[in-house]
Structures are given as structure tokens and as C-alpha cells.
């Protein structure tokens, strides 16, 4: 297994070029995996998110559909699931789904912590209660990843996650943001705090994270979980009525979902991309993006140019 130090040495040697050393680019079955820098543990590059339509379906208590999505993700070689107590019923229904399927130990379970209101401090007792509720919903003694949601009251909430990690109950900790005005605070925190992971928005039409966040993650050995790889509805609206270009088949993208996910996953700072879906056939489509090869630097440029050429 690669340690954080090995990872840093390898990514440093990869330099600014958007190419990964072969040892960072292994397959799990036919699914591409990436190492979490803190430990070298490998995870499949595509997983599953749970806001957007997933939370609506979970809210309708459609456990059958949610179970189908989990079953499909695992069958297709995925493991990583991202949720949050803040996504309506998502965490609770997902917990029931993996328990009813008997697959809770096969899922890399990433959830979040946030009990701070807008501009108000978090109550430590309520924060601990929220973490305990996440454990109960999953039904496991150990959760893989908990991140402070949207860098909210880090001074109160992050030390609580550190305590849980110290106690061996959480394997990885970090924070998330998908709001540009929070990026400067996120950057400072990445320099100051011992994060294993960050979660951030990134897509073929939303490249801001490449400027400072991704290089810093590589420098500090922090795993990157990509959120909103479709911009929720934004990219779907932009490509509506347009065919996927034939040249994308050269790196195995035959649908727009694969095009968008292969783009996000091909940045070398990215560890895993977690698109949300509530439909099993979309899960199959999304996992296909983790197979075959990823676009190289020239192909990535071409992908950006194509999307930029379409009216937004």
C-alpha cells in the first residue's frame, strides 16, 4: 500500500502534467481505483452521492429504488457513498437500504457533521448526538469518513471529529465546500488542519478547484471527493439536443454522464467522484465511467472547449 509520503513523492514527480504514474492508476476488477493519500487504501473512482433526486426519492420512502441503486453500484464495482444528515431522509433511508441488503460492510460510508446554524455556533452536545445518529443509521461501529459540512463552525466541529478518529470510530475526517466564497477559508484550513479528505464541486464547466484547491490537496496529501460533476441540472441543460462527440469513444465515453464523469475523475488530484442518482440504470451508466481509460490532457482540453462552445 502507498503511504501519504509515497503518494506525495509520486505526485510531485508527476509534476504539473496531467498524467498519473502507473502505480497510482490501478484497476479493481475492471474499475479504476485511486489511493487515499493518508493510508494508500484504494477506492473506485466513481461512487454515489445522495442529495438532488436521491433525497427526493428517499423522502418518498422509496426504499426499493434506493436498494436497487446500492445493489447496482456494488455489482458494478463501486463502493463509495456520500451522504449527510442535512440531505432530508437520505442518510436514514440509505442506512436501511444497505442493512436490508446485508451490504453495509461493503460500502465506503461518507457522511457529514453540521449542527451550526447560519452564522451561529455549533452546540458540541448536539454535534456528538448527530454523529451518534449517523452511526445508528448505518449500524456499524466504524464509519469510513465524516466531514464537517460546508466548513461550518470548524473550531467547534472539527475537534469533535478528531476525537472520534482518535477513538478509532471514524477512519478519515475532513471538510467540504461547494461555495466559491468559502474557498479561501477552505484553503487556509487545508494548510492548518490534518485533513484526510475534502469534498468540493468540480465539473467540465466548473474548473475553479483546479486553480488552488487541487494543487494544495496534492501538496498536502489530502484526498479529494468531487461533488456535482453534472452541476446537478446545469450540464444536462447545456448538452440537451447535442450528441456525445464520436471522439469521446476513444476514451470510452459513449454517454454524456460518462463524458462528464471521466472528465472529473481524470484530474490527478481527484480520488473519487460521487454523482447522485436515484435510478439503477443511471448507476450502471455512471459506473461505466470508471472503466476503460480516462482522457489525457489534450482530450481534457478538447472536452472543455466543446462544452464552452455550447450556449449556457
Ligand X SMILES: NC(=O)c1ccc[n+]([C@@H]2O[C@H](COP(=O)([O-])OP(=O)(O)OC[C@H]3O[C@@H](n4cnc5c(N)ncnc54)[C@H](OP(=O)(O)O)[C@@H]3O)[C@@H](O)[C@H]2O)c1
According to CB under 6 A, which one of 85, 229, 268, 295 is a site residue for ligand X?
229
Q: Which residues pair with 112 in a beta bridge?
A: 147
Report which residue's Cβ sits closest to ligand X.
Answer: 49
Minimum Å gap between C-beta 180 and ligand X is: 12
Q: Should residue 52 be labelled a site residue for ligand X when binding is judged by CB under 6 A?
A: yes
Minimum Å gap between C-beta 131 and ligand X is: 16
CA 89, chain centre distance (Å): 19
Q: Should residue 286 be labelled a site residue for ligand X when binding is judged by CB under 6 A?
A: yes
Backbone conformation region of residue 301, classed left if phi is above 0, alpha if psi is from -120 to 50, else beta: alpha
Q: Should residue 150 be labelled a site residue for ligand X when binding is judged by CB under 6 A?
A: yes
Q: Should residue 156 be labelled a site residue for ligand X when binding is judged by CB under 6 A?
A: no
Q: Which stretch binds ligand X (CB under 6 A): 29-37, 127-135, 209-217, 269-277?
A: 269-277
Q: Should residue 47 be labelled a site residue for ligand X when binding is judged by CB under 6 A?
A: no
CB of 271 or CB of 277, closer to ligand X:
277
Q: Determine whether 28 is exposed, middle or buried from the number of CB atoms within 10 Å of its CB (0-12, 13-18, 19+).
A: middle
Q: Should residue 232 be labelled a site residue for ligand X when binding is judged by CB under 6 A?
A: yes
In 3D space, the residue among 125, 35, 172, 214 whose CA is nearest the CA of residue 133 turns out to be 125
CB of 135 or CB of 227, closer to ligand X:
227
Minimum Å gap between C-beta 281 and ligand X is: 8
Q: Should residue 231 be labelled a site residue for ligand X when binding is judged by CB under 6 A?
A: yes
Q: Should residue 252 be labelled a site residue for ligand X when binding is judged by CB under 6 A?
A: no
Q: Should residue 50 be labelled a site residue for ligand X when binding is judged by CB under 6 A?
A: yes
Minimum Å gap between C-beta 87 and ligand X is: 7
CB of 11 or CB of 278, closer to ligand X:
278
Q: Which stretch binds ligand X (CB under 6 A): 6-14, 22-30, 163-171, 222-230?
A: 222-230
Q: Should residue 76 be labelled a site residue for ligand X when binding is judged by CB under 6 A?
A: no
Q: Which residues pair with 224 in a beta bridge?
A: 198
Q: How far apart are CA 227 and CA 201, in angstroms?
A: 5
Q: Between residue 89 and residue 148, which ones bind ligand X under the rule CB under 6 A?
A: none
According to CB under 6 A, which one of 82, 193, 196, 299 is a site residue for ligand X?
82
Minimum Å gap between C-beta 238 and ligand X is: 12
Where does this chain bind ligand X (CB under 6 A)?
Answer: 49-54, 82, 149-150, 176-178, 199, 227-232, 257, 274-279, 282, 285-286
Amino acid at each position: 500500500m502507498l503511504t501519504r509520503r509515497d503518494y506525495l513523492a509520486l505526485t510531485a514527480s508527476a509534476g504539473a502534467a496531467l498524467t498519473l504514474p502507473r502505480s497510482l492508476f490501478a484497476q479493481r476488477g475492471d474499475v479504476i481505483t485511486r489511493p487515499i493519500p493518508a493510508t494508500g487504501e484504494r477506492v473506485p473512482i466513481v461512487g454515489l452521492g445522495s442529495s438532488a433526486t436521491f433525497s427526493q426519492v428517499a423522502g418518498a420512502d422509496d426504499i426499493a429504488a434506493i436498494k436497487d441503486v446500492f445493489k447496482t453500484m456494488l455489482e458494478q464495482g463501486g463502493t463509495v457513498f456520500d451522504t449527510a444528515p442535512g440531505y432530508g431522509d437520505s442518510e436514514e433511508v440509505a442506512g436501511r437500504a444497505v442493512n436490508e441488503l446485508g451490504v453495509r460492510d461493503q460500502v465506503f460510508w461518507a457522511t457529514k457533521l453540521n449542527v451550526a446554524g447560519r452564522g451561529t455556533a455549533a452546540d458540541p452536545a448536539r454535534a456528538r448526538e448527530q454523529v451518534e445518529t449517523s452511526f445508528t443509521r448505518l449500524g456499524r461501529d466504524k464509519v469510513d469518513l465524516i466531514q464537517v459540512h460546508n466548513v461550518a463552525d470548524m473550531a467547534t466541529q472539527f475537534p469533535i471529529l478528531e476525537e472520534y478518529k482518535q477513538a478509532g470510530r471514524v477512519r478519515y475526517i475532513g471538510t467540504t465546500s461547494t461555495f466559491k466564497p468559502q474557498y479561501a477559508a477552505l484553503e487556509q484550513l487545508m494548510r492548518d488542519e490534518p485533513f484526510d479528505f475534502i469534498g468540493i464541486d468540480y465539473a467540465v464547466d466548473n474548473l475553479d478547484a483546479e486553480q488552488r484547491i487541487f494543487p494544495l490537496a496534492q501538496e498536502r496529501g489530502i484526498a479529494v471527493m468531487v461533488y456535482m460533476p453534472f452541476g446537478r441540472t446545469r450540464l444536462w441543460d447545456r448538452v440537451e439536443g447535442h450528441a456525445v462527440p464520436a471522439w469521446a469513444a476513444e476514451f470510452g465515453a459513449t454517454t454524456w454522464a460518462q463524458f462528464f464523469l471521466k472528465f472529473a475523475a481524470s484530474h490527478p488530484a481527484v480520488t473519487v467522484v460521487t454523482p447522485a442518482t436515484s435510478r439503477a440504470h443511471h448507476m450502471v451508466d455512471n459506473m461505466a465511467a470508471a472503466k476503460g481509460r480516462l482522457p489525457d490532457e489534450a482530450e481534457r482540453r478538447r472536452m472543455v472547449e466543446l462544452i464552452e462552445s455550447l450556449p449556457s
